[in-house]
Structure 1
Amino acid sequence: MRKLLYLLTLSFLASCVSVKKHNEKREIPIAPEKLKKDVDFAYQKLQKLHPELYWYISQDSLDYKFDSIKTTIKTPLKPNDFYQKLAPVIAKVKQGHLRLYPLEKRLTKKEIENLKNQKGLLSRFNFVVDDNRIFVLDNTEKIANMDVGTEILKIKDIPLKDLLQKYHPFINSDGLNKTFQKYSLARRWPAFFTAEFGILDSVKLETKLNNATKTFYLHREKMSKEERKKEESANKKITKSETGKTKDYNIITKSYNRDLQFPVKDSSVAYMKIKTFSGTFSRKFYKQSFAILKKSPAKYLVLDIRDNLGGSLYEINNLYSYLAKEDFKFINDIEVTSRSAMFQADYFSEFSWIYKPLAVVGYPFYWLGTALSVKKKDDRFYLRNNGIFSIKKVKKNNFEGKVYVLMNGSSFSAAAILPSKLKGDQRAFLVGEETGGANDGTVAGRYSTKKLPNSRLYLPIGLMLIQPNIEFTNTKKGVIPDKEITPTLLEILQKKDVQLDTVMELIKQDKKSISEIKP
């Protein structure tokens, strides 16, 4: 017992020292020559590991940008000041999955425990961005002075438009796409703000609503242990339930990631909302849902993947097997840069400390599987098809009616690959906005996270070029809808779903034309 207590005490003290040292390093300026070495290190790793580094920017142009940034580093910089220089250059690669991360402040165990008993500050709201302006989109807890439609003019006496202009260069999408940035910035600006100013207990805001301005402090509210225990118990009850598992209940948004409804009285239209392709119990959800659809009178399926940032390739492949009308190949063989690239994929970092010993035991088998997984064809390297994405058969309960897809600029990654395939195979009619993810594929899948040696910034690099099995458009843009509908700011704030309304009107017209044809 004494030895155990001694080890625990030692571990606790070491943890405290580690946190202190890490946070001290955030404030220490780094010599220019060392920062220039970090620039070279980042570019060398990108060239070695990223399969399509020059897809959206020429090598000469990217070489110039990396060389140019080094000429601007003339004085010592703190890690996060250096981040503000390098992150925009990384963003010029125009790959939405590729981003540099600032050096975050680490918290002590006591600080983490205190935060557990507190509600968030800015994270409790959803926002919408419109021309360098921020508006409150959702205030589910009805926090005072933050009604839906409230514009935030200043935060900490800083005009918010200045912060948005500062953070915008850190945001990138796939290729020439322009629809993704406003959604990404609306989600991420509080994280950029926190990285810059730290975790605050309160913040001064100046807001505007109905032409009336107001200045006040927004506070981080504390939760009692009883409140927290009650919330955790309620969340556990839902997430452990069969419905909570199959529909993938999200305790943060307090909603289901997947859902199937029949919005019209005669059940001729089915509406399936997928908020994220998390993969969690997805196979069971689709099996149950399409069995229900098969028995229903539904002739139309509306698949809503707006604000879906992607996720599991397996899930979208499986979903497509319920929508296809004939056997299909969902994606092309996955390309990597070399035989050795996948050896650099994150492995041990994907395991918690409890499972680290098992990871060590399993590593030789992982290494062997990785070594055998790469094949060479025409001087390029691909992962051998493991059966998941080979020719697939259509599911017995596949939906044979008309499919409409709702998508927007925040449909990204897997949520762009799916509509790209549906459109390429002429299996669905797409409504909404150009997707944030590229039509012709993306670089993601497995990552190799590199730590820049001097600034200690993290750079996760996607290792796999994933492309749908379609005839490529080569437009360097997202998936273009068959009918473009972009809601106005007023429609968004008033929660008017003009995109869904458009689909329902198209279905109504289709029903009418069919009835006129029938004798």
Structure 2
Amino acid sequence: MTVSLFANNSNRTITRQEAANDLEVYFKIIDQQHGNPYQYISREAFQNFVNDQIEALPEAISLKQFEVILSELNNQLLCGHTVVKMESKLLKSTISQTQFFPLPIKIINDQLFVDFEKSIIPHGAQLLSINKVSTENLVAELSKITVTDGFSPTKPLREIESKFGYYFFLKYGAANRFDVQFKTAEGQIKDIQIEATAGNSMLANNYYRPINLSHERYNRFTHLDAIDSLQTLILTLNTFRANPDWFHEKVTSRYDEETKEFDFENLVIDLRINEGGDRRLLNILYQFLTGDKLNDPSKTYTRAQQIQMEEYVSSINGRLKSDEAFSHANDYLQKYFKTEKEDHFEAPVLNWYDEFEGGEAKNWNGAKFGGKIYVLISGKTFSAAADLARILGQMANVVLVGEETGGAHVGRAANMIVNYSLPHTQTSLQVPVIYEEFINVSDGNVGRGTFPDYLVQPNLDDLMAKKDAVLEYTLDLISQNSNYGSN
């Protein structure tokens, strides 16, 4: 049932030479600009991957096919902040079409299960094939076009779950309806045809919210819930792209300035679908939890003292291409990264959170919270959220619950983000310029994320019971601790 719904969009073809040129430009940008492109793969091996893809190009290739090839190449870097995607107008045009698989899925042991009630395919059913594509190796195939930091296996899984229809479209094409074979919870194998959905609705609503995300706190950027019987406050932070003033205001409302006490004894911080953003919020959180300003020193370096391949730059740190944006970025690089080494420029060991001092930063001036802290993490816990989990996880009164984060524990390229547009496909390429290696960590997690103290993984019983297993496990831990400490 695959159809060509948009011949003038992502199915538009370019020549072999145009595609080859874009792949060559991609390699040059990565090679010259990326903060540490060869952390997990040698330059020679990566260049060979690029050359092999160029050799294998057909005489004509669609933009969608090109993005799959480029995504699989990009995956070799194992850098979660290095991202490729369709040119923005083409992406908007594409996802406006009704051509995407319509159901949210849950990945359990690399198998796909329906995580939705309002469907003719029952909740909890195992998907066996979609438009004759077997799901047996589907997770492994789709993982090749995602990104993650190092070898953390969890981020690709959660990424596929949240955008399954889009990844399936990239790899296997558009459809206005899908022939699906599935197995019910009772073991019956059935075949059915379901209608496609529009991609923009699917992505905006996170697939109409899988069952375990239907609670109000997952429909907002941030939320507070109180469980009075456990003297527990649940702080849900689904993004760090929100204004830090929100957190400051909300926490202040739970604090008595006269008695210097909070009205709760346990704090749960839910970071499971938080992919990062504004790192100023980490400053406030850390002050609130410890009474001290955040000190997280790191060794940093960049491969160039100025922005490279200027003719392809579209924006720098979210600012559209301009002389001012280039000047600001280059001045910053030359100010800090002065020590020249063989293939990079180093900055002194610094606590980069000092950069947030001044008028832009909020400070917590009350007493620190001295109770027990439970941090919920998953593969979607990434970038600044993964940093927070790593930093808090070193504290004696903090317990991490869930699964390995998708953000690197020891070090990753993530700072100063430059966006490029490839010349023929206009494919967008996001490149982190600065590599950061954290000082206050052990070397045991090299190439991996931050691990939980209590591992709670998804299983079919929890899915069928519509159970938020990580949160329930955490509340059980709290309830077992009947002697609440004083804050």
Q: TM-score, normalised to structure 2's length?
A: 0.78
Q: Does 2:225 align with 1:261?
A: yes
Q: Which amino acid aligns with 1:284?
A: W
Q: Does 2:101 align with 1:122?
A: yes
Q: Is the 8 A contact 2:339 2:347 kept in 1?
A: no
Name the counterpart of 1:292. 254
Q: CA offset at residue 386 of structure 1?
A: 8.7
Q: Deviations over 1:439-495 (max 9, x none)?
A: 124323443233333444332222233555623536221001222232323223423
Q: Is the 8 A contact 2:101 2:197 kept in 1?
A: no
Q: Which has the larger strand fraction?
A: 2
Residues 1:343 and 1:335: Cα distance change in structure 2 (over 3 Å): farther
- Identity of paired residues, percent? 20
What is the distance in 1 between the residues matched to 2:407 and 2:33?
A: 21
Q: 1:370 aligned to 305, 325, 329, which one?
A: 329
Aligned ranges 1:164-313 → 2 under 5 Å? 164-195=139-170, 200-209=175-184, 210-219=186-195, 255-265=219-229, 268-279=231-242, 281-293=243-255, 295-313=261-279
What is the distance in 1 between the residues matched to 2:100 and 2:68?
A: 24
Aligned ranges 1:419-458 → 2 under 5 Å? 419-426=389-396, 428-458=398-428
Q: Does 2:38 align with 1:54?
A: yes
What is the distance in 1 between the residues matched to 2:79 and 2:91?
A: 31
Q: 1:41 aligned to 25, 30, 41, which one?
A: 25
Q: SS at the partner of 1:499?
A: helix
Q: SS at the partner of 1:341?
A: coil
Residues 1:54 and 1:481: Cα distance change in structure 2 (over 3 Å): same
Q: Which has the larger helix fraction?
A: 1
Q: Deviations over 1:305-358 (max 9, x none)?
A: 11222222222333222222323324647644322128956439957xxxxxxx
Residues 1:452 and 1:155: Cα distance change in structure 2 (over 3 Å): same
Q: Which amino acid aligns with 1:276?
A: T
My pick for the range that moved more, 171-180 or 391-400, is 391-400
Cα RMSD of the aligned pairs, angstroms, is 4.0
Name the counterpart of 1:347. 315
Q: CA offset at residue 429 of structure 1?
A: 1.8
Q: CA offset at residue 269 of structure 1?
A: 1.9
Q: 2:373 aligned to 389, 403, 406, which one?
A: 403
Residues 1:74 and 1:369: Cα distance change in structure 2 (over 3 Å): closer
Q: CA offset at residue 128 of structure 1?
A: 0.8
Residues 1:514 and 1:42: Cα distance change in structure 2 (over 3 Å): closer
Q: Is the 8 A contact 1:150 1:208 kept in 2?
A: yes
Q: Which amino acid aligns with 2:247?
A: F
Which ranges of structure 1 fall in alignment gaps of 5 or more residues?
1-19, 223-227, 229-234, 236-249, 352-358
Q: Which has the higher contact order (CA 8 A, sep 6+)?
A: 2
Q: Is the 8 A contact 1:80 1:103 kept in 2?
A: no
Q: CA offset at residue 76 of structure 1?
A: 4.4
Q: Deviations over 1:289-320 (max 9, x none)?
A: 24405554422211111122222222233322
Q: CA offset at residue 365 of structure 1?
A: 4.6
Q: Is the 8 A contact 2:390 2:450 kept in 1?
A: yes
Q: SS at the partner of 1:503?
A: helix
Name the counterpart of 1:355. none
Q: Which amino acid aligns with 1:329?
A: N
Aligned ranges 1:2-13 → 2 under 5 Å? none
Q: 2:460 aligned to 489, 497, 519, which one?
A: 489
Q: Is the 8 A contact 2:183 2:190 kept in 1?
A: yes
What is the distance in 1 between the residues matched to 2:332 and 2:155?
A: 34
Q: CA offset at residue 91 of structure 1?
A: 0.3
Residues 1:69 and 1:191: Cα distance change in structure 2 (over 3 Å): same
What is the distance in 2 between the residues matched to 1:497 and 1:192?
A: 25
Q: Deviations over 1:208-259 (max 9, x none)?
A: 323233333323589xxxxx9xxxxxx9xxxxxxxxxxxxxx9x99822212
Q: CA offset at residue 132 of structure 1?
A: 4.0
Residues 1:201 and 1:68: Cα distance change in structure 2 (over 3 Å): closer
Residues 1:103 and 1:369: Cα distance change in structure 2 (over 3 Å): closer
Q: Deviations over 1:119-161 (max 9, x none)?
A: x8535x431123442211134xx23x13321222232233234
Q: CA offset at residue 49 of structure 1?
A: 1.1
Q: Does 2:432 align with 1:462?
A: yes
Q: SS at the partner of 1:211?
A: coil
What is the distance in 2 between the residues matched to 1:196 and 1:92?
A: 17
Q: SS at the partner of 1:504?
A: helix
Q: Deviations over 1:142-189 (max 9, x none)?
A: 23x133212222322332345444322112311121122221222233
What is the distance in 1 between the residues matched to 2:390 and 2:81?
A: 18
Q: SS at the partner of 1:81?
A: helix
Aligned ranges 1:498-517 → 2 under 5 Å? 498-512=469-483
What is the distance in 2 between the residues matched to 1:386 and 1:274?
A: 20
What is the distance in 1 between the residues matched to 2:90 and 2:73?
A: 26
Name the counterpart of 1:480. 451
Residues 1:349 and 1:99: Cα distance change in structure 2 (over 3 Å): closer
Q: Does 2:78 align with 1:80?
A: no
Q: Is the 8 A contact 1:346 1:447 kept in 2?
A: no
Q: Does 2:111 align with 1:133?
A: yes
Q: CA offset at residue 105 of structure 1?
A: 8.8
Aligned length: 450
Q: Is the 8 A contact 2:148 2:156 kept in 1?
A: yes
What is the distance in 1 between the residues matched to 2:60 and 2:484?
A: 70
Residues 1:21 and 1:327: Cα distance change in structure 2 (over 3 Å): same
Q: Deviations over 1:392-434 (max 9, x none)?
A: 9654253222211111222112221101111245452212211
Q: Is the 8 A contact 1:154 1:205 kept in 2?
A: yes
Q: CA offset at residue 87 of structure 1?
A: 2.3
Q: Which amino acid aligns with 1:323?
A: L
Residues 1:200 and 1:85: Cα distance change in structure 2 (over 3 Å): closer
Larger radius of gyration: 1
Name the counterpart of 2:388. 418
Q: TM-score, normalised to structure 1's length?
A: 0.73
What is the distance in 1 between the residues matched to 2:88 and 2:330?
A: 35
Q: SS at the partner of 1:100?
A: strand
What is the distance in 1 between the residues matched to 2:132 and 2:447?
A: 40
Q: SS at the partner of 1:51?
A: coil
